[in-house]
């Protein structure tokens, strides 16, 4: 029998354990892995593998904390609901709206990016037309039913996982000398071109900040848990395997890239995975990778619509957002939330019609800010507060337990604060951090005003 959870109004609990697990797996693999990793490799050299490994460890620990919170009481609002419960309504409202803002901007970002990639495959069709097509289609999928979202995301994730596994397999074969027309480089590219850290530690630290944000999206599984048929077991299975996924998909594939390809080659910045396939003589390498990246982009677009709409729904349900966002159709879909999330994308498509793709793309990329750090800091603070609160009222062991508690969560919190400090001194991260701090400050101010007003009303209400 599925583990029971408190009913969440009219949302439908129809996401299967298999779908939720695959959604969690797919959440790790974003377009940033296939494209953005090239810039990090070019800056830090082969040592970028360390950045992916160490930042991945931080994300693993944060997700472990979130898994303990989620299995204790699965809710659609995930960390926003938990923050509201453990830290106060101001915290839940703040992080919920900042998170919704991030995914709404991401929806716009991915729609424009998807249109640009499709335009490369079919130049006769303008990029804005492809962007409009993708956004309209996936908005329709999310408006139909949660099972439609889960079904599409399952197949998107399966394609991404298959692509990474095949790439790693082909790469290992090349490293072992299985390609007759390609001479295996051994450790030449790893150690023979300036060493493991050819540019020293400073570029590695800067690259680590970029790498950190590529992991964002893993938390999606705990949001979808509110509509799963067996949330506790599904979250437990998905989050327990997050460490393995990060090691295989990110660290493993990046290690293949820097082993086969010189870190300072001109091709690596544009698309390291395409460069490796070209090097090995794989026919149609560019087209293959464009299709895989397009799949990753559409997956992120689909997830963004879902994440933002469900977070907006949870906020409205707690009285921390406009009431219409908390209403659902007979099929259990928060229509207003989906349309609100999609509206940013449609505005971006309209802008893309009048402006060059690069201009819109760059603006949206800067506007997305550094929300990942805010969310992860909130998860850490919520976990620490929640552990204290639970210790005072219950003794039952959670379904998923955080490693090294109660001390390790504090170390993770300090590490995340260190990342914020590092962003202040990074020329490429200073602007996103500033934009995020502005948005977060406004959200916190709104949360404090909301809580003060709520407390005032409660104090004036006579106790019956």
Most confident of 18-22, 280-284, 381-385: 381-385
pLDDT at 367: 61
Q: How far apart are CA 370 and CA 206, in angstroms?
A: 14
Q: DSSP characters for 77-127?
A: THHHHHHHHHT-HHHHHHHHHHHHHHHHHHHHHHHHHHHHHHHHH-TTS-H
Average pLDDT score, the chain: 83
Indicate if the pLDDT at residue 221 is higher than 50.
Answer: yes
End-to-end CA distance of the chain: 40
Closest listed residue to residue 137, CA positions, set 298, 26, 29, 328: 298
**Residue 411 pLDDT grade (very low, low, confident, very high; cuts 50, 70, 90):** very high
pLDDT at 362: 61
- Percent of the chain residues past pLDDT 90, beyond the cut: 27
**Residue 361 pLDDT grade (very low, low, confident, very high; cuts 50, 70, 90):** low
pLDDT at 365: 58
Tell me the CA distances in angstroms from 53 to 39, 50, 254, 329, one per residue in order.
Answer: 17, 5, 10, 43
Q: What's the mean pLDDT in 399-427?
A: 87
CB 90 within 8 A of CB 451: yes
Q: What's the mean pLDDT in 290-297?
A: 89
pLDDT digits (tens, 9 = 90+) for 90-121: 999 999 999 998 888 888 888 888 888 899 89
Q: Would you state the torsion angle of the CA atoms of residues 301, 303, 306, 312, taken in this order, to the nearest 10 degrees? A: -90
Q: Which domains does the chain possess?
A: 17-390+401-452 (1.20.1740.10)
């Amino acid at each position: 029998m599925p583990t029971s959870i408190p009913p969440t109004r009219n949302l439908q609990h129809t996401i299967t354990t298999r779908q939720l697990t695959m959604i969690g797996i797919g959440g790790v693999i974003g377009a940033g892995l296939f494209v953005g990793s090239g810039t990090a490799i070019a800056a830090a050299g082969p040592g970028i593998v360390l950045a992916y490994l160490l930042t991945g460890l931080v994300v693993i620990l944060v997700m472990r904390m979130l898994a303990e919170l989620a299995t204790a009481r699965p809710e659609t609002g995930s960390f926003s609901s938990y923050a509201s419960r453990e830290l106060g309504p101001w915290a839940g409202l703040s992080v919920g709206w900042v998170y919704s803002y991030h995914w709404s901007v991401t929806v716009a970002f991915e729609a424009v990016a998807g249109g640009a990639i499709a335009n490369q495959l079919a130049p006769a069709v303008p990029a804005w037309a492809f962007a409009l097509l993708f956004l309209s289609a996936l908005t329709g999928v999310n408006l139909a039913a949660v099972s439609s979202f889960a079904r599409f995301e399952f197949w998107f994730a399966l394609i991404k996982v298959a692509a990474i596994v095949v790439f790693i397999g082909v790469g290992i074969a090349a490293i072992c000398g299985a390609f007759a027309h390609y001479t295996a480089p051994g450790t030449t590219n790893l150690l023979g071109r300036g060493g493991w850290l050819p540019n020293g530690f400073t570029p590695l630290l800067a690259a680590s900040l970029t790498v950190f944000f590529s992991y964002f999206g893993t938390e999606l599984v705990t949001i979808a848990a509110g509509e799963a048929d067996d949330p506790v077991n599904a979250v437990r299975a998905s989050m327990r395997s997050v460490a393995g996924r990060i090691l295989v998909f990110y660290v493993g594939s990046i290690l293949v890239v820097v082993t086969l390809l010189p870190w300072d080659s001109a091709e690596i910045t544009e698309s390291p995975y395409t460069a490796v396939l070209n090097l090995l003589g794989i026919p149609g390498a560019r087209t293959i990778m464009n299709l895989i990246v397009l799949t990753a982009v559409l997956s992120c677009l689909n997830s963004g619509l879902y994440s933002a709409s469900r977070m907006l729904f949870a906020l409205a349900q707690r009285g921390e957002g406009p009431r219409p966002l908390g209403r659902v159709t007979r099929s259990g879909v928060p229509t207003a939330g989906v349309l609100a999330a999609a509206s940013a994308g449609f505005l971006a498509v309209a802008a893309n019609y009048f402006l060059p793709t690069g201009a819109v793309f760059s603006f949206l990329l800067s506007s997305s800010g550094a929300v990942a750090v805010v969310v992860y800091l909130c998860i850490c603070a919520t976990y620490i507060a929640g552990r204290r609160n639970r210790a005072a009222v219950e003794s039952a062991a959670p379904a998923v337990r955080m490693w090294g508690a109660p001390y390790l969560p504090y170390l993770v919190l300090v590490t995340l604060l260190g990342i914020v400090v590092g962003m202040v001194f990074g020329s490429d991260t200073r602007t996103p951090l500033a934009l995020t701090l502005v948005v977060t400050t406004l959200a916190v101010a709104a949360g404090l005003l909301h809580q003060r007003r709520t407390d005032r009303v409660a104090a004036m209400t006579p106790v019956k």
